[in-house]
Amino acid sequence: MSFIAQRLSYFDSSDFRDAIKKQALLHNPIDLSIGIPEELTPDHVKAAGIRAIHEDKTTYTPANGLPELREALAAKLQNDNKIYVKPSAVTVVPGLTTGQLLVYLAILDPGDEVIVFDPYYPPYPHLASMVGARVVYVSTLPTFQPDIPALEASITDKTKLIVINSPNNPSGAVYPEATLRKIAAIAEKNNILIISDEIYEHFVYDGEHFSIGSIYPNTITMNGFSKEHAMTGWRIGYIAGPQEIIDAINELQQYVVMSSSSIAQHAAIAALRQKPAHLVAKYKAKRDLIVERLGKAGYDVKGAQGAFYTFVKAPHNLTDIEFVERATEHGLIIVAGRAFSQLHGYIRISYGADIYTLERGLVILEKIAGELAS
């Protein structure tokens, strides 16, 4: 008899574990697999965390976060996103993946249907399945933009939630305002909630970021500090939305996590006071480089208007696993696309790494394309 719960059958992180194993096995690997920005946590943010330790601000905080942080976040949402919420409608969470689970636990019952655009960030469908919801996938190929007629056709009387991620991981697609307004209209017509994960909002190179929560009140907006402020290991994010839902999340937080790190919260307050300079210009230059070089090498590049990923089809009808293995033979680590999609012919390439690492990786990708062409 197995002692492992059935809910674990909904998870398969083997593609990510394989990437980590390759890091250890390869000598001087070229890692374009992981979603970490190249920057270090800014000094003023680190100083705020250190100061919190020295001042003994290391005890539990309220489950929903420090009042001063929630006030700052409410102001940020109003100024940057045109989302008008009270501080009480903002809750602080220990990272957005934990936040995603808390949202699902708060709003989903077994049998509820959740619409997820494919490709997707893996926790969106898998955590929903784990809590007993039914995931409905809507393909965004070939452009990685939402197919509005397909979205409408996927809605049933059991549809409770649409999950949006723009800029998108893994495709880098940015959904324009016009598209998001159409999705909001569909959600309003059918009385459906929306989750909008906007963790990459400051990594937009074509067009502008638009927050669907600014026009549709039944939106749960999720964001955090990992990408823009290079605070991946600090594990600090936030959720804003209808007061009833935030209250339910806070009730869960009291029992599930007690509170987010007090030290990370004080650091987050400092982060909000000073945004990183030249971030968009640096990542746009890397985006332009990878799109140009991959295109010339024969890869079909779509999306890539934002975030720091591109999701490309493996050339010459290779499967994603076959391509990843070939890349590994050359010392390059990337992630098989099946981790992010129901399809098995794509690969995700991250350009969060520094330009030197990216250049080395592009040389390998060009070399593989040449080998396959010959």
pLDDT value, residue 10: 75
Which residue, among 44, 37, 36, has the nearest Cα to 267 in the 3D structure? 44
Mean pLDDT, rounded, for 117-129: 97
pLDDT value, residue 5: 85
pLDDT value, residue 13: 67
- How would you class 168 by CB atoms within 10 Å of its CB: exposed for 0-12, middle for 13-18, buried for 19 or more? buried
Domains and CATH numbers, the chain: 6-40+278-373 (3.90.1150.10), 43-273 (3.40.640.10)
- How would you class 46 by CB atoms within 10 Å of its CB: exposed for 0-12, middle for 13-18, buried for 19 or more? middle
pLDDT value, residue 369: 96
pLDDT 10s digits, 76-95: 999 999 999 999 999 999 99
Mean pLDDT, rounded, for 144-173: 98
Tell me the HSE value of 217 on the side-chain side, using a 13 A CA sphere: 7
Does residue 175 carry a pLDDT above 80? yes
Does residue 1 carry a pLDDT above 80? no
Does residue 302 carry a pLDDT above 90? yes
The pTM assigned to this predicted structure is: 0.95
Calpha distance 74→83 (Å, rounded): 8
Does residue 19 carry a pLDDT above 70? no
Does residue 17 carry a pLDDT above 70? no
More confident residue, 24 or 28: 28
CA dihedral 259, 260, 261, 267 (to 10 degrees): -130
